[in-house]
């Protein structure tokens, strides 16, 4: 692969793309409007879940395995910190009604891919982890689940990209992609026009303004609140031993992490998906309310009071994170409909961080091989355009 490629966005996806492209011999320039690790996009909050029991579709499982292999490789490379510095195998337990479709799909993914797992009843979930659930509910425990440390992961990807020859410009905001007979250019807010041979748009929640209007409507920015609870000292020992957890409750899908000190001391939790419709589709990364309000935390506290009472305590910290969602919930990894020299990698819909090494490879293959690239059909335009509409 030759020529100059500009990657718009230096977050997790942009870094993974830069490493994959530079390793194939491309001249890669990454443009990032903020700094290397920041709190204004989708990677804030210190940790991200990794899991192979994938209720979003078993086609994702091989990509998780691939990506986890990259995280493990980055751990042992120079400056990587050693095994366990990026990916932590804390285990994962997903719980809900036996009739809950997502839980059933997670169990089906385990069975289809031969993943080690065990089913627990409500008594075992209470005795082991303190989860208070209806007596008919069950849990699926997968010991290979856990979490990825965000800053260590991003540092590892950046080091790998630099070693491969990629260069970076921070504080560089992209205003427009310019197609035309004069060639492909990227226009910066400063007025600088940068020529290139190909472009990867990996701008996360800031993707929409760089697309034609007809494509912008495919995505929706979602505001999510992360919070860290400070339980009483007597409860912290058991909560340190809790795996990463997800509960499909009546008010939505809640998830959290063991009590610890991953960037912030406390037990981190969030609500991934609300059950009520009607979130504002006009929301943008520029207009989002980044203040955490009492009502945001009330939803999380009520969940803890009902289902994990040992974790109730004062809030140690909280922050706003952004999802950029497609209507299907699947990622978009495909060439721009108006110009095949541009690849779009976005719409990760709140579950994409664990996949970014594999996404980087898929993007590199698209630019290198075009339609011969084996990108899963669920990531391509036809799937999204034929799927549910907002």
Q: Residues 365-375: pLDDT tens digits?
A: 999 998 889 99
Tell me, yes or no, whether 10 and 121 share the same domain: no
pLDDT, residue 90, reads: 98
The residue among 288, 304, 325 that closes a domain is 325
Average pLDDT over residues 133-152: 98
**pLDDT over 70 (residue 279):** no
64 located within any domain: no
The 3-state secondary structure of 80-93, one letter per residue: CCCCCCCEECCCEE
Same domain for 213 and 226, yes or no, is: no
In tens, the pLDDT along 83-120 reads: 999 999 999 999 999 999 999 999 999 999 999 999 99
Strands (E) across 60-126 are located at 87-88, 92-96, 118-121
Claim to verify: residue 203 and residue 332 sit in the same structural domain: yes
In a domain, 294, yes or no: yes
Instruction: State the CATH number of the domain containing residue 210.
Output: 3.50.50.60
Q: Quick one: 314 and 379 in the same domain?
A: no
Residues 117 and 232 in one domain: yes
Claim to verify: residue 206 and residue 263 sit in the same structural domain: no
Split into its structural domains, the chain has a count of 2
Q: Which of 86-95, 216-225, 268-277 has the lowest mean pLDDT?
A: 268-277
Q: Is residue 143 part of a domain?
A: yes
Pair (321, 335) in one structural domain: no
- Are 250 and 378 found together in one domain? no
Percent of the chain with pLDDT over 90: 89
Give the Cα separation of 211 and 201 in Å (integer): 9
* Residue 62 within any structural domain of the chain: no
Give the residue numbers spanning the domain of 288.
88-148+220-325
**Block residue for tokens 């400070």:** 230
pTM assigned to the model: 0.96
Structural domain includes residue 197: yes
Q: Identify the band that residue 277 occupies on the pLDDT scale cut at 50, 70 and 90.
A: low
Residues 191 and 141 in one domain: no
């Amino acid at each position: 692969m030759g020529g100059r490629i500009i990657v718009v966005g230096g977050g997790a996806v942009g870094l993974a793309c830069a490493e994959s492209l530079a390793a194939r011999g491309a001249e890669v320039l990454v443009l990032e409007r903020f700094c290397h690790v920041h709190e204004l996009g989708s990677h804030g909050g210190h940790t991200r879940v990794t899991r192979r029991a994938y209720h979003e579709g078993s086609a994702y499982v091989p990509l998780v395995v691939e990506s986890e292999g990259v995280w493990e490789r980055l751990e042992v490379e120079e400056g990587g910190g050693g095994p366990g510095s990026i990916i932590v195998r804390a285990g994962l337990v997903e719980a809900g009604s036996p009739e809950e479709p997502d839980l059933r799909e997670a169990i089906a993914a385990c069975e289809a891919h031969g993943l080690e797992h065990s089913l627990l009843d409500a008594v075992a979930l209470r005795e082991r982890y303190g989860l208070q659930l209806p007596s008919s509910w069950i849990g699926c425990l997968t010991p290979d689940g856990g979490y990825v440390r965000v800053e260590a992961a991003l540092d590892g990807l950046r080091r790998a990209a630099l070693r491969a020859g990629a260069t970076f410009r921070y504080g560089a905001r992209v205003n427009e992609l310019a197609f035309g007979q004069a060639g492909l250019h990227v226009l910066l807010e400063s007025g600088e026009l940068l020529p290139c041979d190909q472009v990867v748009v990996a701008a996360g929640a800031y993707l929409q303004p760089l697309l034609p209007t007809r494509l912008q409507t495919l995505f929706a920015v979602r505001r999510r609140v992360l919070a860290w609870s400070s339980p009483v000292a007597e409860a912290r020992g058991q909560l340190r031993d809790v795996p990463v957890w997800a509960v499909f409750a009546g008010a939505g899908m809640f998830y959290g992490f063991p009590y610890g000190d991953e960037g912030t001391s406390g037990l981190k939790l969030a609500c991934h998906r609300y059950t009520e419709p009607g979130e504002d589709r006009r929301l943008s990364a520029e207009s989002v309310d980044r203040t955490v309000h009492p009502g945001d935390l009330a939803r999380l506290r009520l969940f803890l009071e009902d289902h994990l009472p040992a974790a109730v305590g004062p809030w140690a910290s909280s922050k706003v994170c952004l999802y950029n969602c497609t209507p299907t919930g699947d990622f978009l990894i495909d060439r721009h409909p108006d110009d095949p020299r541009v690849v779009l990698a976005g719409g990760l819909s709140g579950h994409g961080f664990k996949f970014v090494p594999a996404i980087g490879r898929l993007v590199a293959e698209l630019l290198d091989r075009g339609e011969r690239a084996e990108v899963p059909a669920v990531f391509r335009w036809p799937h999204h355009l034929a799927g549910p509409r907002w």
